[in-house]
Structure 1
């Protein structure tokens, strides 16, 4: 069974390419997994680089986009790399971005069927109940992105004993006005994506909120000093998450590791 650890780090492949030494430093701080986000290519070049740069850390994709890659190509890369520390997170992207976006559930189901990788090495980006059910049936579990704690509670009920590993974006900043401004700038892209806005509305946020209200920002993006952020991250564990993938918009991973009680070098 793959060891994800309790906390990991999420970073886009665009921002983390060529930074294997830094990822190895995160491993030494005690983070258990590095999630390569931003739709990495089918060649899995950065995941391969990070597998080579680390010793114990799980390297996962978060996520390979099913509209931008073919499962046979991704599987070939997975087997070429040949590491038991590599996990493939796959997902359907966004209708406003991916021009081929049609019937995403059917594409996900077909992609998983054709992805010749052991089930325990596959996870599925999942927001709505139907895709969470697919994750439980066909993969090791789910890797939701940009979700409130209430989503984690619901996802746990649907997934049963399968892995639940949400990404959680954070800002280490004690001034809430500054923290929200940092978060709002980063999240502006997602305010225009219907799959995210619909998901937030499932949890009681209004259409006006989904344009970036303080209430939405506070629910999605823990902020404060490292101790306050750590407490809010643990809320996802209390709600049923097995692992939390932390994406800090302003760094401070060492301080967060200490506040989370991670063991350096473990």
Structure 2
């Protein structure tokens, strides 16, 4: 997978928030990929309607959780999608975070084992990607997959990740946005979605590596933290922040629209063509 395959700008959203009609419109106004969050299950039956409704759009998972979905059934779903929609699906996998599952043990080794099993089931490295934050898992993404899908990051992180990944590995940078010029209202929306991650040790450790302080990371997050992780403002201000990921080395920036009613389309329409 390359930038030509996924496009420079994508949309990240919980799969429950995406409809075939929305996918069709997002393709029409220029988005290259839909990344499906909220841990899509092994059947991946939510992908088919989105690809049926579009012609060129790529759909990827961000991510299938390795503790919740066994590699065999996931591989079967991959091959079904590849047969029906050649080259238009990316299998993103990841270990999630320790607080989400009692099965969470030795995540690096579990990822390696999962990738080994995907190899055995014929899922090509060129059509899979890995949720990666720390250096060790970024290196695994570089050597065993098409690329990395870091989440809850800043352009500073993107720059460092590109240095670790080298020039040939796909790097998709997720960025939350709130299309709202009133800072207080925007932070309320951003904090409602970002705050929960401050109770998850893997995200907190990565945000410390980026340079946020203990004060920033104290629940529910400082204004400085929220402003960086859920950027807000008008179209031009947000577009500038999104372009910063591309300038830092991301192949694609994946926009996660935050809104009180979970309707991603108004902001996606407003931003289309500006990044």
TM-score interval w.r.t. the shorter chain? over 0.9
The answer as to whether partners of 1:10 and 1:36 remain within 8 angstroms in 2 is yes
Compute the displacement of 1:15 (Å): 2.5
The answer as to whether partners of 2:30 and 2:273 remain within 8 angstroms in 1 is no
Compute the displacement of 1:216 (Å): 0.8
Q: Deviations over 1:65-113 (max 9, x none)?
A: 0000111110101111222100101000110011100000001111111
Regions of 4+ moved over 2 Å? none
Q: Deviations over 1:186-212 (max 9, x none)?
A: 112211100001100011212221121
Query: Does residue 158 of structure 2 align to residue 152 of structure 1?
Result: yes
Compute the displacement of 1:243 (Å): 0.4
Query: Does residue 178 of structure 2 align to residue 171 of structure 1?
Result: yes
- Give the whole-Å Cα distance in 2 for the aligned partners of 1:14 and 1:119: 27
- Give the whole-Å Cα distance in 2 for the aligned partners of 1:79 and 1:61: 15
- Give the whole-Å Cα distance in 1 for the aligned partners of 2:16 and 2:110: 25
Q: 1:136 aligns with which of 134, 142, 146?
A: 142
Q: 1:200 aligns with which of 203, 207, 212?
A: 207
**1:107-146 aligned within 5 A:** 107-115=110-118, 116-146=122-152
Unaligned runs of 5+ in 2: none
Describe the SS at the equivalent of 1:222. Answer: strand
- Give the whole-Å Cα distance in 2 for the aligned partners of 1:52 and 1:98: 33
**1:177-188 aligned within 5 A:** 177-188=184-195
The answer as to whether partners of 2:171 and 2:251 remain within 8 angstroms in 1 is yes
- Give the whole-Å Cα distance in 2 for the aligned partners of 1:53 and 1:146: 29
Compute the displacement of 1:233 (Å): 0.1
Compute the displacement of 1:185 (Å): 0.6
| Counterpart residue number, 1:58 | 58
- Give the whole-Å Cα distance in 1 for the aligned partners of 2:152 and 2:53: 28
Alpha-carbon RMSD: 1.1
Q: Decide which moves more: 129-138 or 187-196.
A: 187-196
| Counterpart residue number, 1:25 | 25
Q: 2:273 aligns with which of 258, 261, 266?
A: 258
Aligned positions, number: 258
Compute the displacement of 1:234 (Å): 0.2
Unaligned runs of 5+ in 1: 261-266
Q: Deviations over 1:218-263 (max 9, x none)?
A: 2212210011101100000000000011011123111111322xxx
TM-score of the two chains, using structure 1 as the length reference: 0.94
